[in-house]
Amino acid sequence: MFELYEIEQQFPDDKLSNLKEKVHSELKRHLENKSLPKNAEIAITAGSRGISNIVPILKETADFLKNRGFKPFLVPAMGSHGRATAEGQIEVLRHLGITEDTVGAEIRSSMEVELLGHTPKGQPVYMDKNAYHSDGILVINRIKAHTAFRGRVESGLSKMVTIGLGKIKGATFVHSDGALKMAGNIEEVSLFALKNSPVLMGLAIIENGYDETADIAGVSVENWHSREEELLHYSKAMMPSLPVNEIDLLLVEEMGKCFSGTGMDPNIIGRWRIDGVQEPEYPAVSKLAVLDLAEKSFGNAQGIGLADFTTQKLVDKMDRKSTYTNALTATYLRRAMLPMIYDTEKEAVETAVYSLGPKIAMEKIKIVQIPNTLHLNRIFATLPVIKEMEKSNRKFNIKDTHKLSFDQNGDLQRKLTVHQFS
């Protein structure tokens, strides 16, 4: 079979040294001039998956507010996730480690929303009832490239306001015009919400190429979108990436909502699969096989439609209601459609290689194996990939080599998932 090289890629590694100090200083700087009554109830948003250090960030935020005589509470802000139920959204938070005990604040979960009004273009603006009727809202989210559109603001604070706090009703309206209008809708709806609700500030989380907290920045309501735009550029500059632009076969060991809102980040694999939206030129992945669904995705296989081949074990773990609800709310139905399914990883991988056709020589096939689309610092790749990397400015080290092989159950013998995360 193929010889694979274990590669350690090097990415930007800015890292926050004192999380507690930064959270407290940003909150103090942005809240000290706010006029809030004693015992003010302040809603804190929570819900995006895969954020490093989200529990301590929420806890420090709650502690800061309590120390100043306020009463913080958490609001699950995640659109249609958790099967679009109040109980389901609490369950999602619990799986993220976010509970009343770990954060030190009550959780108030409801799918009820208030209609704040309509934007100049007629878009309805909804907001979680508990958050809207609080004395103040503190919006917390990670800022990063979105998985379905490009814009001045993408995945971050504005999205949390429009889709997260908008619950399934708000999320459905924001998505209803399609991916090409998403950026404009999010900016327009969030602007209206900021002007017509008690949002106090935003707390933006930026992560480096190793899934670590690079910075935490307070964002004022007054220059919300311009500041978020700056932080988005910073985040994109630190994004991890595949080692080369053109890959014959990409093997993804695990997909899931814990790695990307789309299960596999389209920004990484170069596949959008959205009707009416042109696919990016690079990265260009000819064939993609995804082998398993992460336990922490809790059955949500949103993004499975980005693959060409998969396994029966992944499909068996799939919660169709959760997956389909997510896809229907986002309106990107192709992303939930099943690829070719094989009984074992061996069959899936060998069929994927076969599908490349007879004209490509085996020794020239560029194969890249990754644990998931979030953690790309350690990967496996064939020699043609190494040779191409050596001609570029990429920084990397070769750690080891092994043969691509399978055990008696037909599973890959060497996996990065086990190597990195066990």
Q: What integer pLDDT is reported at residue 67 of this predicted model?
A: 97
What would the CATH number be for the domain defined by 19-237? 3.40.50.11440
Which two three-digit tokens encode residue 170?
């708000």
Q: Are 350 and 362 in contact (CB under 8 A)?
A: no
pLDDT digit string, tens, across residues 68-108: 999 999 999 988 777 789 999 999 999 899 999 999 999 99
Give dist(CA 84, CA 88) in Å, integer: 7
pLDDT digit string, tens, across residues 25-76: 999 999 998 999 989 999 999 988 889 999 999 999 999 999 999 999 999 9
Q: Are 175 and 189 in contact (CB under 8 A)?
A: no
Helix, strand and coil percent figures for the chain, each rounded to 5: 35, 25, 40
Residue 421 reports pLDDT greater than 60 = no
Sign of the CA dihedral running 387, 245, 7, 346 = negative
Grade residue 418 by pLDDT with cuts at 50, 70 and 90: low
User: Angle at Cα 79 formed by Cα 74 and Cα 82, nearest 5°?
Assistant: 80
Give dist(CA 264, CA 88) in Å, integer: 23
pLDDT digit string, tens, across residues 279-332: 999 999 999 999 999 999 999 999 999 999 999 999 999 999 999 998 998 889
- Taking residues 361-373, report their average pLDDT: 97
What is the strand order of the sheet 136-142 is part of? 106-107, 71-76, 41-46, 136-142, 199-207, 213-220
Distance from the first to the final alpha carbon of the chain? 27
Contacts of 51 (CB under 8 A, 6+ apart): 57, 141, 142, 205, 207
Grade residue 175 by pLDDT with cuts at 50, 70 and 90: confident
Give dist(CA 296, CA 346) in Å, integer: 24
- Which residue shows structure tokens 């570029």? 392
- Which residue shows structure tokens 């998505």? 175
Residue 237 reports pLDDT greater than 60 = yes
Q: What is the DSSP string of 98-155?
A: --HHHHTSEE-----EEEEEE-TT--EEEEEHHHHTSSEEEEEEE-B--SS--SSS-B
Q: Are 327 and 336 in contact (CB under 8 A)?
A: yes
Residue 283 preceded by cis peptide, ω within 30:
yes
Residue 388 reports pLDDT greater than 80 = yes
- Taking residues 388-405, report their average pLDDT: 94
Q: What integer pLDDT is reported at residue 176 of this predicted model?
A: 86
Give dist(CA 169, CA 146) in Å, integer: 20
**Pairing status of strand 199-207 against strand 136-142:** parallel
Give dist(CA 96, CA 342) in Å, integer: 31
Q: What integer pLDDT is reported at residue 56 of this predicted model?
A: 98
- Taking residues 97-123, report their average pLDDT: 96
Grade residue 276 by pLDDT with cuts at 50, 70 and 90: confident
- Taking residues 372-399, report their average pLDDT: 95
Grade residue 277 by pLDDT with cuts at 50, 70 and 90: confident
> What is residue 279's three-state secondary structure?
coil
Grade residue 132 by pLDDT with cuts at 50, 70 and 90: very high
- Taking residues 222-244, report their average pLDDT: 96
Q: What integer pLDDT is reported at residue 419 of this predicted model?
A: 47
| Nearest Cα residue to 19 out of 239, 206, 229, 260 | 206
Give dist(CA 109, CA 47) in Å, integer: 11
Give dist(CA 56, CA 203) in Å, integer: 13
- Domain ranges, ordered by start, for the chain: 19-237, 240-421
Phi first, then psi: give them for residue 218, nearest 5 degrees.
-75, 145
